[in-house]
């Protein structure tokens, strides 16, 4: 078999094995290409980053660890001489984003020695297998891998640097985001190529049709998640887009939500998410004017905020027009709420409420609230003038001491001035025979009282 035939067979075999990492090209009349070798990482592999941190007058190093499953591949560009594999090895270069030139030189020399051991045979598969499976052990890399040492390396060595080893990035600040982005993208690629059972409907689907929650790695099919996200957003519960697992609190990423809901629904989600984010910011409030409602940055002192849209100055406590150092004014419908909040508050909260509204104002509010509650429970209002009237004893025909109106205690309706008792002895009346309903009546002292009541009903 000729060298050219062996080359063609080798490239065909490699193409079937490394379909997505081998690119075959032609350099004039010579065969060539590029091959991506992705090193197999140790279990629980981490990158170690040391960052300067100032404490008092000295500078220390702060350690930062990143869990990594995939590192950017080592790229081998090669050309196959016409005498390969019988007499000459492939011509190649190795380039890497995360290996330094000293390490790349060692790899180039190792590939040369592998050729010498297998001289006369095709070698590309052997080279790629070594770069994938043995690179870490050969270079004696540690776990966690300190990025600064990898980037810097050392040029003070007896080993001459090989021009075939190309270091693509020499800055730690530039390299870290490249590695993190590649790791994230490759994890997603591997996810899409695999199959998963949805934890909601239990159907088996390819990762392309599934959603994974990044913090917990729980997987659900897109159909189930689309329905779930849609219901939550329509209910205004944008903070509720959590992993459906009842023991998990992982949040869906906005990009995942956008992929699974309509554009109108995502716009609502985006707006609500922005709104809830503003609500959690302690130094942001909203203009109280109903036709404005713009977000406003609060002043650090004096409880003052001024809307930059409508220029309305308001108190951040009571949300009324700014009143300077005077206590906040209470709205009528807030008395009961303030009373409950004050009575159930701890000492620190009570002091804050007293500072906000004034101690005298709170005391007055409490007294008024108690008075209104008592009146509501123990009195009724005159249907004519609205005066509060308490019933102590006697029958259910009441007389208002303010306007002298007669009214029924049971149904609160006005009674006739000429014959107020007709309301109780008219058949069909809602209070028929109820003049003394609810009244504790002792034994009558004599029969005359009975005659009086019978005459009254007649």
User: CB within 8 A of 210, min separation 6: which ones?
Assistant: 191, 196, 198, 219, 220, 221, 222
Cβ–Cβ under 8 Å, residues 385 and 403: yes
Residue 125: the pLDDT is 94
Domain 3-182, what fold?
Ubiquitin Conjugating Enzyme (3.10.110)
Bridge partners, 219 (sequence order): 212
Task: Enter the pTM of the model.
Answer: 0.55
Question: Distance (Å, rounded) from C-alpha 210 to C-alpha 450?
Answer: 87
Going residue by residue through the chain, which has 458 residues, state the pLDDT in tens, using 9 for 90 and above.
799 999 999 999 999 988 788 998 888 889 999 999 999 998 889 988 877 766 656 667 778 888 899 999 999 999 999 999 999 999 999 999 999 999 999 999 999 999 999 999 999 999 999 999 999 999 998 888 887 766 666 544 556 889 999 998 878 788 889 999 999 899 888 888 899 999 899 999 999 999 988 888 899 999 999 999 998 888 887 776 888 888 888 888 888 888 898 888 888 888 887 777 666 665 677 888 888 888 887 775 667 888 888 988 888 777 788 887 776 666 655 666 777 777 788 887 777 777 666 666 677 666 766 776 777 777 888 988 888 888 877 888 888 888 889 999 888 888 888 888 888 888 888 888 888 887 765 544 444 444 444 444 44
Number of H helices, E strands in the chain: 14, 20
Question: Distance (Å, rounded) from C-alpha 18 to C-alpha 131?
Answer: 14
Question: Distance (Å, rounded) from C-alpha 424 to C-alpha 411?
Answer: 11
Asked if the domains 3-182 and 194-279 are classified in one and the same CATH topology, the answer is no
User: CB within 8 A of 384, min separation 6: which ones?
Assistant: 400, 403, 405, 407, 414
Residue 453: the pLDDT is 45
Question: Distance (Å, rounded) from C-alpha 361 to C-alpha 338?
Answer: 11
Quick check: helix, strand or coil at residue 393? coil
Give the CATH architecture of domain 194-279.
Answer: 2-Layer Sandwich (3.30)
Cβ–Cβ under 8 Å, residues 100 and 167: yes
Catalytic residue list: 395
Q: What is the DSSP letter of 329?
A: P
The domains of the chain are located at: 3-182, 194-279, 392-458
């Amino acid at each position: 078999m000729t060298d050219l035939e062996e080359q063609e067979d080798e490239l065909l075999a490699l193409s079937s094995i490394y379909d997505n990492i081998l690119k075959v090209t032609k350099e004039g009349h010579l065969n060539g290409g590029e091959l991506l070798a992705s090193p197999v990482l140790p279990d629980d592999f981490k990158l170690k980053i040391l960052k300067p941190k100032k404490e008092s007058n000295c500078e220390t190093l702060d350690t930062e660890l990143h869990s990594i499953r995939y590192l950017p591949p080592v790229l081998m560009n090669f050309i196959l001489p016409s005498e390969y594999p019988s007499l000459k090895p492939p011509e190649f270069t190795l380039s890497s984003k995360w290996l330094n030139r000293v390490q790349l030189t060692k790899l180039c020399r190792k590939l040369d020695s592998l050729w010498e051991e297998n001289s006369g045979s095709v070698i590309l598969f052997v080279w790629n297998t070594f770069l994938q499976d043995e690179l870490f052990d050969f270079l004696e890399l540690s776990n966690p891998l300190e990025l600064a040492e990898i980037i810097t390396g050392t040029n003070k060595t007896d080993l001459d640097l090989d021009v075939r080893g190309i270091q693509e990035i020499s800055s730690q600040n530039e390299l870290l985001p490249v590695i993190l982005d590649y790791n994230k993208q490759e994890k997603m690629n591997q996810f899409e190529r695999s199959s998963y059972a949805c934890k909601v409907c239990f159907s088996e689907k390819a990762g392309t049709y599934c959603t994974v929650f990044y913090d917990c790695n729980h997987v659900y099919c897109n159909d189930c998640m689309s329905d779930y996200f849609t219901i939550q957003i329509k209910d205004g519960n944008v903070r509720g887009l959590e992993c459906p697992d009842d023991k998990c609190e992982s949040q869906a990423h906005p990009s995942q939500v956008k992929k699974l809901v309509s554009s109108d629904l995502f716009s609502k989600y985006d707006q609500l998410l922005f709104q809830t984010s503003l609500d959690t910011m302690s130094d942001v409030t909203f203009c109280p004017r109903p036709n404005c409602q713009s977000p406003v940055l609060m002043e650090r002192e004096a409880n003052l905020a001024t809307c930059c849209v409508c220029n309305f100055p308001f108190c951040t406590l009571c949300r009324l027009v700014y009143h300077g150092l005077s206590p906040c004014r209470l709205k009528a419908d807030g008395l009961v709420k303030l009373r409950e909040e004050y009575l159930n508050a701890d000492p620190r909260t009570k002091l804050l409420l007293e500072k906000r509204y004034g101690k005298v104002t709170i005391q007055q509010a409490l007294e008024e609230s108690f008075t209104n509650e008592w009146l509501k429970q123990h009195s009724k209002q005159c249907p004519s003038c609205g005066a509060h009237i308490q019933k102590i004893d006697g029958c259910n025909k009441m007389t208002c001491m303010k306007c002298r109106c007669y009214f029924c205690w049971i149904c609160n309706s006005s009674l006739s001035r000429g014959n107020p008792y007709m309301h109780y002895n008219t058949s069909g009346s809602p209070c028929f025979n109820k003049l003394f309903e609810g009244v504790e009546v002792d034994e009558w002292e004599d029969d005359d009282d009975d005659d009086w009541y019978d005459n009254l009903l007649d």
